[in-house]
A and B are shown apart, each in its own frame.
Chain A
Amino acid sequence: MSPLLQIAGLTAHYGDFQALFGVDLTLGQGETIAIIGANGAGKTTLMRAVTGVARVTAGAVTLAGDNITRLSAPDILVCGIAMVPEGRKLFASLTVEENLLIGAHARQGNGFWTLERVQSLFPILKERRHSPGTALSGGQQQMVAIGRALMSNPQVLLCDELSLGLAPVVIKEIYAAFPQIKSSGTSIIVVEQDIGQALRVADHVHCMMEGRITLSGRPDTLSRDAIHDAYFGVSHA
């Protein structure tokens, strides 16, 4: 069976600076993969390239067999890839409920995720629905950002640095929603600096360094040392 999302030889630049060097990655239907790596490894650039925000200079992204590499960001969302951006990026002049509804702006037809289902996944979002999105705590804002992305009923959900700046107990609470998101049929890519968290949720883990994937495998087959080496770019003597 062909993978749902296939990234092949993806290269991206910021001006003269090359941020991605021929990245290959596949995501199967219903699968969750994690991309780990230190700051500046190219994880966020990869997410931005897949969603059409950053310009791709070479390579291809195919979703369910369709080449979506050159599509604009809004069209890629319509194809079925939604992103929870790093730093959450809620709309400041929209309420919590409006932030969720805007996620469904381009939605065509029905799907599993509705306002009610997102609010039952994160009940606090119903309670605070009339508050400005940015008045919530960091963890609650992250819940809005995830809910907002789900509202488009994506085939693929990209989560960029969900745990950044959040307390461990809050991170746990957010990741507790993942089984339900997975059971709705959504395939997930999480980008994490929190290795432990990434290993817990993912079926496959890929480690990035300096714009390349340096290590890939199932969490149970990767040794701590191998991950450490790939993450920090050092070898154990």
Chain B
Amino acid sequence: MIWIDTLAQGLLLGGLYALFAAGLSLVFGIMRLVNLAHGDLIILGAYLILTIAHATGLHPFVAVLLAAPLMFGLGWALQTFLLNRVLGNDILPPLLVTFGLSVVIQNGLLSAFTADSQKLTAGAIEAQSMDLGIVTLGVMPVLTFASAVAVVFALNQLFYRTALGRAFRATSDDAVTAQLMGIHPQRVFAMATGIAMVVATIAALYLGTRANFDPSIGPARLLYAFEAVIIGGLGSLWGTLAGGVVIGLAQAIGASVNPEWQILSGHLAFVLVLLIRPRGLFPRAND
């Protein structure tokens, strides 16, 4: 029975990793940009929720509703004024710029909030659980996983059912021809990064309510996110969810054997998947 519990916890943990990764996957899918500051932007989102919650006394689950549009604006501005300038045929400039951005955000947060650990306090819900007979699941982990599924579902609907999603896919296919359709690729990219930051804010909410965070933990979140995107297959949103679940399961199984093996097991699963399926579990046909 302990195994069922381990698998259930791993699955739910995968939801958190999928939330870390969904924004990264979206941005990569549309503009082939790997945002190395993605993890730090999630941490920035957590501090933003924390600041709003402290200033207004609002519950983090309500404060996130105020933080999300601010983060959308930040993502939009970041893409418009910085990242669009470095996107091109050479993949190195955007990598360098987002790496620099990562350092800037970490140090900015350190100056503003010190290196002390912080946590978003969600109240009684943090300790609540539901007994399903064979396993007992924490309400927060279940909520995290449900949010991950909802986010991936919503992004897929956006991608395949709306005019904006059509413009996303057309620009991703062929940005020059997209311009002949009246699409401004740079505006499309700004919308995409804005939306990715809204998803990052949702990830930040669960990151901050489930565990402590401080300005230095962004790069590790980026690593999990990146692994989830690669495992799932670049540009596939459901694949990203599957990738998050693979890492979550591997970590839970590793930890159940030996708690020291938790992180290592996730990375090993990543390497293993790459060995067997180098293009990920659900690669896009036309990449």
Contacts and interface: CB of A to CB of B under 8 A. Distances in A.
B184 A74 contact: yes
Contacts of A52: 179
A136 interface: no
A94 interface: yes
A53 B180 contact: yes
A91 interface: yes
B151 interface: no
B183 A94 contact: no
A93 B173 contact: yes
A152 interface: yes
Determine chain B's interface SS by DSSP, over half rule: helix
Interface residues of A, number: 25
A171 B117 CA distance: 70
A105 B181 contact: yes
B176 A53 contact: yes
A89 B169 CA distance: 14
A85 interface: yes
Determine chain A's interface SS by DSSP, over half rule: loop
B285 to A, nearest CB: 8
A82 B163 CA distance: 19
A101 B181 CA distance: 10
Interface string B178-189: 111111100000
Interface string B139-178: 0000000000000000000000001001101101110111
B286 interface: yes
A102 B286 contact: no
Interface of B: 163, 166-167, 169-170, 172-174, 176-184, 284, 286
**CB-based closest 5 A-B pairs:** A106-B182, A73-B179, A77-B182, A89-B177, A91-B173
18 contacts: A53-B180, A74-B182, A74-B184, A77-B181, A78-B182, A85-B177, A91-B169, A91-B173, A93-B172, A93-B173, A93-B284, A98-B169, A102-B181, A105-B163, A105-B182, A105-B183, A106-B182, A106-B183
